[in-house]
Amino acid sequence: MDSTDTRVSPGASATLVETLATGGAVPGMRVRRFVPLARGPLGERPITADQTNTSVVVGERVVVKWMRPDGSPDRAPDLLAHLAAAGFTRTPTPYAAIYRDEPDGGLAAVVTGFLPDAADGWDWCVDALLDQLAGGPPADLAGDLGVLAAELHCALATPSDTIPAPVAVSHRDWATDGLAVLDQARQLVAAADHEDAQWLTDRLPRLAADIWRSDEVDRAYVIPPHGDLHVGQVLRWRGGLAVTDFDGNPTLAAPDGATLTEPTARDVAQLRTSLLHVGQIANRRTEGRHRSAVTDWCQRGVDELLAAYLRTLREHGMAHLFDERLLRPFEVEQECRELCYAARFLPRWRYAPMGVLRGWYD
């Protein structure tokens, strides 16, 4: 892989997979192995969905995700090992993590199993909603997402040798953090010279008031979260639903290099708002012809997702992990983070979080 960007040389992924399968050394790299990898076909094809890293499918059985060299997070290997120890199987099989040699020592790649016929939620969720709007079956998918999220959080909160004490209590000032993100989003949108900037400025007091509601929470349980839990991280494949990509939110980092821990409401807020983004995508593709039906689907979806999530937490005896008072502040903050993400990585995405915010505040 090129040392300055995420371009991957042809054949590099296949070579890495073959080396792992034969037990060889990777020049200039340190290998952390999880599950043994058997030899097999080595044909390559890239995954072309929008992402901040670069993923390549090898032999239709293995995925090599090459990480950005500029400070890419290295939390995924520990979380994958922790989840495997907790018995969580609704994620692609983890095979290995590859680290660059010192003095850099950063994460270079993560190698996991490929899930046959898998589609991420930006495809299968959107397609399900579009089918419903065209007269097809109801897109009743939100409850399954809520169950998956709860099962994931229960596993993340289960002690293992990798993370012996995954649950802690935090007294962090989430309101101040959220307001800083709001201000950053305002500045980035303004720098884009877009009419959305004036809209945000006019509604700053209301946005800030909703974010400030997290100030009611002076202590909350925190766990190592997924960190970037949107529908695009949920794959539907032959075996059902699986969650992937534990790199974390590119706009959300732990302070001063500390281990990232968050209230479970952070993941839930992001997953719920991503359902609303599905609605925005559907509106754009249908040119707004079904706006009322999409609005109804979105509202019902976020409600069903939360209900299924809470029910599953209770069934596992972990209802205490979730503080609903943080949900709305984190949802508003998440849309601001989406605006920051759009400004930095994907400008054409801005319409989705702006559409959600306009739906909330107009």
pLDDT digits over 48-68, tens only?
Answer: 765 668 899 999 999 999 987
Mean pLDDT of 200-212: 97
pLDDT, residue 2, reads: 36
Enclosing H/E stretch for 56: strand 54-58
Max mean pLDDT range (25-29, 31-35, 179-183): 179-183
217: CB partners within 8 A, 6+ apart: 174, 323, 325, 326
Q: How confident is the model at residue 5 (pLDDT cuts 50, 70, 90)?
A: very low
pLDDT of 110 above 60:
yes
Contact (Cβ atoms closer than 8 angstroms) between residue 235 and residue 242:
yes
Q: How confident is the model at residue 1 (pLDDT cuts 50, 70, 90)?
A: very low
59-63, 73-77, 111-115, 256-260: range with lowest mean pLDDT = 256-260
| CATH code at 119-361 | 3.90.1200.10
Mean pLDDT of 223-246: 95
The CATH class given to the 12-113 domain equals: alpha beta
- 54, 56, 55, 24: which is closest to 39 by C-alpha? 24
Percent of the chain clearing pLDDT 90 (strictly above) = 83
6-10, 300-304, 324-328: range with lowest mean pLDDT = 6-10
pLDDT, residue 4, reads: 34
Encoding tokens for residue 154?
A: 């229960």
Q: What is the pTM of this model?
A: 0.90
pLDDT, residue 245, reads: 87
> For 304-345, how does the pLDDT look when each residue is reduced to its tens digit (9 = 90+)?
999 999 999 999 999 999 999 999 999 999 999 999 999 998
Helix crossing, 174-191 with 327-344: angle to 10°?
30
pLDDT, residue 50, reads: 54
Radius of gyration of the chain (CA): 20
pLDDT, residue 334, reads: 97
In degrees to the nearest 10, what's the CA dihedral of 242, 300, 351, 121?
20
Burial 29-42 (b: 16+ CB within 10 A, else e): eebeebeebeeeeb
Helix crossing, 204-212 with 327-344: angle to 10°?
130
39: CB partners within 8 A, 6+ apart: 18, 21, 22
Percent of the chain clearing pLDDT 70 (strictly above) = 93
Max mean pLDDT range (70-74, 126-130, 345-349): 126-130
CA distances from 237 to 43, 69, 90, 141, 294 (A): 21, 30, 11, 14, 25
The alpha carbon dihedral of 263, 341, 146, 215 has a sign of: positive
> Structural domain boundaries of the chain?
12-113, 119-361
Encoding tokens for residue 52?
A: 């901040």
Amino acid 128 reads A
More confident residue, 101 or 213: 213
> For 250-299, how does the pLDDT look when each residue is reduced to its tens digit (9 = 90+)?
666 555 445 789 999 999 999 999 999 999 999 999 999 999 999 999 99
More confident residue, 35 or 356: 356
Q: How far apart are CA 160 and CA 84, in angstroms?
A: 9
3-state per-residue secondary structure call for 142-200: HHHHHHHHHHHHHHHCCCCCCCCCCCEEECCCHHHHHHHHHHHHHHHHHHCCCCHHHHH
Mean pLDDT, rounded, of the chain:
92
Mean pLDDT of 28-54: 86
